[in-house]
Structures are given as C-alpha cells and as structure tokens.
Amino acid sequence: MSTLSRFIRLGAIAFATAPFMIAGAQAADFYKGKKITLIIPSSAGGGYDTYARLLGRHIGRHIPGNPDIVPQNMPGAGGKVAAAYIANAAPKDGTVFGETYPQALTEAAFGRKNLVKYDTQKLTYLGSMNGEPYYCFARTDAPVKSFKDLTSKELIVGATGQGSSTAVSPALLNNLIGTKFRIITGYKGSSQVVLAAIKGEVQGWCGMGWSSIRGPSKDAIEKGQIKILFQENGQFNDRVRDMKLVRATDFGKTDDDRKIMNLIYSQQIFGRPFFAPPGIPADRAKILRAAFDASMKDPKLLAEANKIGADIRPMTGAELQKEIDAIYSSPQALLDKARNALNPGSAMTKRSGAKK
C-alpha cells in the first residue's frame, strides 16, 4: 500500500470515528458541574438504602466531570413508586438513575400489569450490585419452629408493599404449598419490618437476603431471639451449605410447582438492580454503565463494602437486561400459573395505622 493510500485510509477512519469522539467528549462535558439524583426505593436504614448510598459515594469518581450524586429516598409499593418515577417523570438526560426491588421489574411478566405503570423492558439498565438467596426468619418464641410447622401453624410476618419480596414470598408459599403465613403489609422499609419482629409486633419476616441483616437484626440472631427457618430459593451458596438450611423448593408438591417457584425466585439473581429512564442519550447511557462497572471494581468501594458487610456480586447492565428478557420470554402458560401463585389472598392484610 502506497504512502498516499495509507494517508487516505487513515483520514477516512478519523473522519468516520470523529462523530463518536465528539459525542463522547460532549457527554463528558455534560456532567461537569452537574448533580445526579440517585433514587432509592426504600426508607433510610434498610439494605436497599445501604447499597444505593454505598454506590452513590463512589460512582461519581468514575463519571467524566465528577458530578455530585444526591440520594433521594422514594419508598412505596414495593419499589414501584421509585421505578415509575424514574421511567415516567424523571428527566431523560442522564441526570437521574436509581434502584428498585427485583419484583418491581417482573410484575408485568407475571400478568400483574395493573400494578405497574411503566415498561420494564425499555428501561436503561446499568447493572446489579449483587444477587443472593432470600431467607425466612422467625422469632424463636413463635409457635413455628420449622418449615413443616408452617403447614399446620400460623406465622405472622411483616412486609412492606404488597408487591415487595417480603409480601410475595410468603404469599407464594401459601398458594403453592399450603403454608399458613399471615402477612401484615404497610411497613415503610425492611428495617421497620425487622424492628417490628424484634419488638414482637409480628413473629418474623421473609423475602430478605443476608446482606440486609445488620444492626438490630444481626444482634437478635446472635442472641438467639431470631432464627432462620429456611432458604426461599433453590440456589445453594457457601453460607447455605454451612447453615444446612432446607429450601422452599424441596417442598414443592409437583414439578409444575417447582418450576413456578424457580421462575419467581430467579429474580433474586439481580438482587440490587440499578437503571436510568428509557431513551436517555446513548453516549450518556454508555458513560453511566461504564461508571457502574468501574465502581464494582473500585478498591475504595469494595473496602467500604467489606467494612459494612455488603456483599458485592455484580452484574453488568447487559447481563441484567438479558435476565429480565429471559423471564418475560418464559412460556405464557408458566407465567399465568406464576401470576395465580402470587395472588395475595385473604392472608395479606394492611397494618393497623398504616397509611392507605
């Protein structure tokens, strides 16, 4: 190839890539001096709040222009209030992103579209900070001592919104296995559910991972006031092996029951999902995704996570999107059965004094 040909070729490449370089520079300039609002789906003090604020303290360093990150708690409806705000009302310019509960991203797949005011599959996914099994906890002075007891004895458990993991997890087992959970909803966050159990207002709680167990709940477990009854999904990890816990899926009565449980429990893979509104500029979406991924490898974030007991098992935005799409593409017959299994029924009641 002649020198002139090489020059022409390099010039063509530079001309072709220039728009992308300019766009990237413009996106970097856009964030300089800006504030990014980080929406948190729970009240202060719970596991979701802890993880979101952990990310908020570090992700700004990985966004060109180093914008300030401003956390804003927006609890309600099992994370759907926060998700609806991000999807529908937040600016679509890359200055808002947030977190929600996994159930807020899968309700529509299970035929509960009336509970969701946004299109889950059009959201701009940044990634998930961890995935982990959920557990069911009970006071040691409650009449229920094991999973088998639940088919003959009532256990009163606290929950946040009707679509939260703390509500749908026991409802699922009531419908498929015949457990006798009585579910009291209306608590503002997971930390309030735990405190209600410690005070004896309820007898336990379900649908919560180990990384949310800290402070009063950890103390109550160590003192023998609270015990773990069982693991809610079918995935083993080292902690489960050490504790030798039974799994809810072991008690499924039919293959269909176990398929439904595994489908619903599959959302635990993305336990701390973060996303931005649909339709934000592609260059800013790329920056936010890269910043999220870099934060998950940041030594300062990982050191702080270790200090506060936050388990980091990240998933990229592309991986998160793939997992959600897989749930939505499940056979319709299975999704219909999952919808029926999540029916709250008469066992779910509003907490006395909770706002309607």
pLDDT band at 158 (very low <50, low <70, confident <90, very high): very high
**Lookup result for tokens 């994370």:** 79
Residue pLDDT, tens place only, 294-339: 999 999 999 999 998 888 999 999 999 999 999 999 999 999 999 9
pTM of the predicted model as reported, rounded to 2 decimal places: 0.81
What is the mean pLDDT of the segment spanning 59-69? 98
**Lookup result for tokens 């800013």:** 284
* Residue 126 in this model has a pLDDT that exceeds 70: yes
In sequence order, the β-bridge partners of residue 125 are 275
pLDDT band at 22 (very low <50, low <70, confident <90, very high): very low
pLDDT band at 244 (very low <50, low <70, confident <90, very high): confident
In sequence order, the β-bridge partners of residue 350 are 185
**Closest CA relative to residue 268, chosen from 313, 308, 302:** 313
pLDDT band at 8 (very low <50, low <70, confident <90, very high): low
Q: What is the pLDDT of residue 25?
A: 59
* Residue 201 in this model has a pLDDT that exceeds 90: yes
As a whole number of angstroms, the distance between CA 100 and CA 92 comes to 18
* Residue 356 in this model has a pLDDT that exceeds 50: no
| Burial (CB count <10 Å: 0-12, 13-18, 19+), residue 114 | exposed
Q: Output the six-digit token pair for 124.
A: 């701009």
* Alpha-carbon dihedral angle through residues 69, 318, 294, 274, given to the nearest 10 degrees: 30
Domains of the chain (ranges; CATH) run 8-131+270-330 (3.40.190.150), 134-267+338-350 (3.40.190.10)
Residue % of the chain over a pLDDT of 90: 66
**Mean pLDDT over the full length of the chain:** 88
| Burial (CB count <10 Å: 0-12, 13-18, 19+), residue 329 | exposed
